[in-house]
Amino acid sequence: MTKFLQLAVVGISTGSAFALVGIGMVLIFRTTNIVNFAQGAFAVIGGLVMVGLVDDMHGIVAGTLAVLLVALIGALIGVIAVGFRTRTTPLASLIITLGLALLASSLNLLAFGDRPHTYPTIFERAWNIGGVLVQPQFVIVVGVTVLAALLLTLGLQRTIAGQALVACADSRRAAELVGINVRAVAAIAFAVSAALSALGWVLLTPIDPVNYDSDVRIAINGFAAAAFGGLVSIRLALVGGLALGLAEQLIVGYAPGQARQYELAAALVILLVLIGWRSRHEAVE
């Protein structure tokens, strides 16, 4: 039981980080119609920069700097992806993000080398609850994820700024006609979603080390979480991310021998089944 609970705690934490990546993808898709494959790179750069900075300064300062830096990179990628011509299609933008993701991973390889990076946790102590070790980071990442999901859902539905964001994806032409600066909106959406993804791995690197090519795994997990919500539902992206994280940890913990290497594939199959079940459920309604 203790083993199960411990795996669940870790699973929910990594699941939250996947959910943050997925929520970021949903945010970008809902505001620009772009499926952003550079989303994994945001997480990796966040984690790597954190590892690079954490020895020289207080962990909270390092984390804040890493998140802000990635937000800035995100804004830049957003502007490039949306393009300088009015007629850049979402498909072209998708290819641009894919290219930028490859570029980012090459640059990460040059800058950080080919080995997994991690740092010892910045918090002095963890809580021991009946034999289950709960690190403060776990609580923070879960809290941030739930809070982000809540605020973004409300923000997009209830505020004029959120509706302006959604309007850009709904009809770029009309959004421009009413005076919304579509490129600025894309930059904001990308910056926020980059910051969320980075935050996940700034917090989680101690239990889930990052390498230059971790972005593929992270992007796939995030995309699967986002796909669970049809790329438009923040709430379901949260559920999808948590389910993936949990499933992967449990497979790592309980699957026999070699099988545990395939935790990602197995988790994706589970999610695919869930997506299928959900869409049938919706079709019936």
Partner 1 sequence: MKLLEVDDLTVQYGPAVAVDNVSLELEEGERVALIGPNGAGKSSLINAICGMVKPARGRIRVRGRELTGASPGAIVRMGITQVPEGRQVFPTLPVEANLLLGAYGRDFRNELISATIRYLRRKGEIADRLERVYTLLPKLHELRERPAGQTSGGEQQMVAIGRALMAEPRLLAVDELSLGLAPMVVHGLSEFLRRLNEEEGVALLLVEQNASLAFALCSRAYVLETGRVVLSGTSEELENNENVRNAYLGSGLEAADA
Whether the CB-CB separation of 77 and 92 falls below 8 Å is answered with: no
Among 53, 73, 77, 175, binds partner 1 (CB under 8 A): 175
Should residue 85 be labelled a site residue for partner 1 when binding is judged by CB under 8 A?
no
Segment near partner 1 (CB under 8 A); pick from 110-118, 140-148, 182-190, 236-244: 182-190
Among 1, 177, 283, 284, binds partner 1 (CB under 8 A): 177
By C-beta, is 166 or 207 nearer to partner 1?
166
Backbone angles phi, psi at 57, to 5 degrees: -150, 175
By C-beta, is 3 or 158 nearer to partner 1?
158
Should residue 55 be labelled a site residue for partner 1 when binding is judged by CB under 8 A?
no
Among 2, 89, 106, 171, binds partner 1 (CB under 8 A): 171
By C-beta, is 202 or 231 nearer to partner 1?
231
Among 88, 176, 207, 250, binds partner 1 (CB under 8 A): 176
CA-wise closest residue to 145 among 223, 191, 199? 199
By C-beta, is 174 or 273 nearer to partner 1?
174
By C-beta, is 176 or 213 nearer to partner 1?
176
Should residue 106 be labelled a site residue for partner 1 when binding is judged by CB under 8 A?
no
The interface mask with partner 1, positions 132-161, x = CB under 8 A, is: ---------------------------xxx
Should residue 188 be labelled a site residue for partner 1 when binding is judged by CB under 8 A?
yes
Should residue 184 be labelled a site residue for partner 1 when binding is judged by CB under 8 A?
yes
**Smallest distance, partner 1 to C-beta of residue 87, A:** 10
Binding site residues, partner 1, CB under 8 A: 86, 159-161, 163-167, 170-171, 173-181, 184-185, 188
